Amino acid sequence: MEELDTRHLLCPMPVIKLQKRMELLTPTDRIRVRATDPGVLHDIPAWCRIHGHQVMNVVELEEEILIDVEYGGADK
Amino acid sequence: MKRQRKAVALISGGLDSMLAAKLVKEQGVEVEGINFFTGFCVEGHTQAIRHSKRDKIKRNNALWAAEQIGIKLHIVEVIEEYKDIVINPKHGYGANLNPCLDCKGFMVAKALEWMHQHDFDFIVTGEVIGQRPMSQRAETMPIIAKESGADDRLVRPLSAKLLPPTLPETEGWIDREKLRSLSGRSRKPQIAMAKDYGYLDFAQPAGGCCFLTDEKYADKLRDLWQARGDRDYEFDDIMLLKIGRHLRPKPHFKMIISRDAGETRFLHGYRKQFISLYPTSHKGPLCLIDGAIKAEDLPLASSIVARYSQGRDAEEVTINIRFPNLHEQELNISPLSPKEVQRDWIL
């Protein structure tokens, strides 16, 4: 799975980076976002709901957060 | 067949822009939101870096507003382009370093660019006549429309009936009668509208949505410009101005000292770029050094870090000094007493 490293960035930068990367993906493609700002726990799911993408998995580790997103195809 | 008209709405995350977009959307126009990230935006979770504020809602208000209205939101990063607005505002600053009028014109111009690129028809903003002393006055409304290039494709639904009709109104894309005639600083009409729409949990930031309106933040940015002899900044600079305790013991270096575990964790991410200091003999903060600190300044900087550690009352505290090239050294130092931390060091 493709990875997007947004560690040490504060929201909304992780969302902006995900938004840009998603423009290159096609329906059912998946991407894993690595982040350290707990704001992503709210913002990435909210952005995905608005744009028709799916959050497949969220893992909160001690030092970072992993969010797996699947392209939902609403924009293409 | 009648063409479906499309509007792009500037969504700040505040109530006014949310209501403005809603008023247009409920007239059958297809609305999408746009939010510009300048680096100075105040967000709940930017402040929630601090451990003590971890119970705060960590949501992006623009995303929340878009979801409530039921529109897509495009968050656009404009950090580099926005520098010129902050550094050289044609219309000057407000009470602090807030270039509100230039900022609004810039954002409408960027929205216009987006509108053309995406084949949309007009722009919607949440501006209300008389709401803000600098950018939202009857006389500034036409300036923003003209200087942005949006002209009569810029609709302010909350004050529309007090303004000349725009193209979407004269063409019948939207019904002027269904727009509003709000003016002044009172928030009561907007709060009543929000209640009618069922928007109960909207954001009401006390100091607005921009750090440049904050006096302390503006002072720190002025200090940075003065110390560097250059009115410029990088993204990391303006982020770090939001974090920690800032002290300038000497003109050529500044110390950024974390105030809790959340800030320590955040500053940790910058250790490859800055000289950093932290106590190893006691619990305490992480400090980044901004500027060209000299070897003879390291004892003073270390004694200041020791002062903010749990060893503040100890005879000696051991401070680890790490350089960006990963070279490390340790200093055993007496903490400064509160009296020795000079008031004019604190930014």
pLDDT of the residue at B55: 56
> How confident is residue B34, by pLDDT bands cut at 50, 70 and 90?
very high
Domain A2-70 CATH (choose: 3.30.110.40, 1.10.10.10, 3.90.79.10, 3.20.20.150): 3.30.110.40
CA B120, CA B8: separation in Å to the nearest integer?
7
Give the DSSP H or E segment for B102. Answer: helix B100-117
Residues 6+ apart with CB under 8 A from B322: B271, B275, B276, B277, B328
CA A40, CA A10: separation in Å to the nearest integer?
9
For B145-176, how does the pLDDT look when each residue is reduced to its tens digit (9 = 90+)?
Answer: 999 999 999 999 999 999 999 999 999 999 99
pLDDT of the residue at B137: 84
> How confident is residue B41, by pLDDT bands cut at 50, 70 and 90?
confident
Q: State whether A19 and B75 contact (CB < 8 Å).
A: yes
CATH of the domain at B61: 3.40.50.620
**Domain range spanning residue B50?**
6-211
B window 47-66, beta carbon within 8 A of A: 48-49, 54, 57-60, 62-64, 66
What is the pLDDT averaged over residues A40-50? 95
ipTM computed for the complex: 0.92
| B336 lies in some domain | yes
Q: Is the pLDDT of residue A72 over 80?
A: yes
pLDDT of the residue at B58: 67
Let me know: does B122 contact B115? Beta carbons within 8 Å: yes
Please tell me whether residues B185 and B90 are part of one structural domain. Answer: yes
> How confident is residue B299, by pLDDT bands cut at 50, 70 and 90?
very high
Among B189, B211, B233, the domain boundary falls at: B211
Q: Is the pLDDT of residue B85 over 50?
A: yes
What is the pLDDT averaged over residues B125-147? 88
CA A58, CA B276: separation in Å to the nearest integer?
33
pLDDT of the residue at B57: 57
| Pairing assessment for the beta strands B245-250 and B154-155 based on DSSP bridges | unpaired
> How confident is residue B4, by pLDDT bands cut at 50, 70 and 90?
very high
User: Choosing among A43, A49, A53, which should be mutated to test the B contact, i.e. which has the most B CBs within 10 A?
Assistant: A43
Among B211, B227, B258, the domain boundary falls at: B211
Please tell me whether residues B155 and B247 are part of one structural domain. Answer: no
| B41 lies in some domain | yes
Please tell me whether residues B197 and B308 are part of one structural domain. Answer: no
Q: Is the pLDDT of residue B56 over 70?
A: no
> How confident is residue B131, by pLDDT bands cut at 50, 70 and 90?
confident
**Euclidean distance between the first and final Cα of chain A, in Å?**
20
Closest CA to A22 of A43, A42, A46, A52: A52
Let me know: does B311 contact B284? Beta carbons within 8 Å: yes
pLDDT of the residue at B53: 55
- State the nearest Cα–Cα gap between B213 and chain A, in angstroms: 20
Interface size, chain A vs chain B, as Cβ–Cβ contacts under 8 Å? 76
Q: Is the pLDDT of residue B204 over 80?
A: no
For B265-296, how does the pLDDT look when each residue is reduced to its tens digit (9 = 90+)?
Answer: 889 989 999 999 999 999 999 999 999 999 99
Residues 6+ apart with CB under 8 A from B195: none
Taken as a whole, chain B contains a residue count of 347
| B233 lies in some domain | no
C-alpha dist (Å) from residue A22 to A35, B111, B322: 16, 21, 38
B223 exposed, middle or buried (CB, 10 Å; 0-12, 13-18, 19+)? Answer: middle
Among B192, B211, B230, the domain boundary falls at: B211
Percentage of residues of chain A with pLDDT beyond 90: 80
- Residue B164 per-residue DSSP state: P
One-letter identity of residue A45: P
Q: Is the pLDDT of residue B45 over 80?
A: no
**Counted domains in chain B:** 2
Percentage of residues of chain B with pLDDT beyond 90: 80
Let me know: does B148 contact B154? Beta carbons within 8 Å: yes
Apex CA B50: angle with CA B59 and CA B283, to 5°?
155
Q: Which of A41-50, B9-18, B54-63 has the lowest mean pLDDT?
A: B54-63
Residue showing tokens 């490859």: B272
CA B23, CA B8: separation in Å to the nearest integer?
13
> How confident is residue A25, by pLDDT bands cut at 50, 70 and 90?
very high
Please tell me whether residues B252 and B195 are part of one structural domain. Answer: no
pLDDT greater at residue B325 or residue B53: B325
Residue showing tokens 């009569």: B152
**What are the tokens at B98?**
């807030």
C-alpha B256, offset from chain centre:
19
What is the pLDDT averaged over residues B106-114? 98
Which residues on chain B are in Cβ contact (under 8 Å) with A22? none
Please tell me whether residues B202 and B256 are part of one structural domain. Answer: no
Please tell me whether residues B164 and B247 are part of one structural domain. Answer: no
For chain A, the structural domain boundaries read 2-70
**pTM recorded for the entire structure:** 0.90
| B236 lies in some domain | no
Let me know: does B9 contact B31? Beta carbons within 8 Å: yes
Which residues on chain A are in Cβ contact (under 8 Å) with B36? none
Whole-number average pLDDT of chain B? 92
Please tell me whether residues B111 and B32 are part of one structural domain. Answer: yes
Please tell me whether residues B276 and B192 are part of one structural domain. Answer: no
| B192 lies in some domain | yes
CB atoms within 10 A of CB B183: 18
Q: Which residues of B295-325 are buried (b: 16+ CB within 10 A; e: fewer)?
A: eebbebbbbbbbbbbebbeeeebbbbbbeee
| B83 lies in some domain | yes
Please tell me whether residues B15 and B141 are part of one structural domain. Answer: yes
Please tell me whether residues B54 and B135 are part of one structural domain. Answer: yes
pLDDT of the residue at A76: 45
Q: Does B43 touch chain A (CB under 8 A)?
A: yes
Please tell me whether residues B187 and B296 are part of one structural domain. Answer: no
pLDDT of the residue at B51: 58
Angle subtended by helix axes B15-25 and B61-69, to nearest 10:
20
pLDDT of the residue at B43: 67
Give the DSSP H or E segment for B25. Answer: helix B15-25
Would you list the DSSP string of A9-73?
A: PPTTHHHHHHHHHHTT--TT-EEEEEE--TTHHHHHHHHHHHHT-EEEEEEE-SS-EEEEEE---
| B341 lies in some domain | yes
pLDDT of the residue at B208: 63
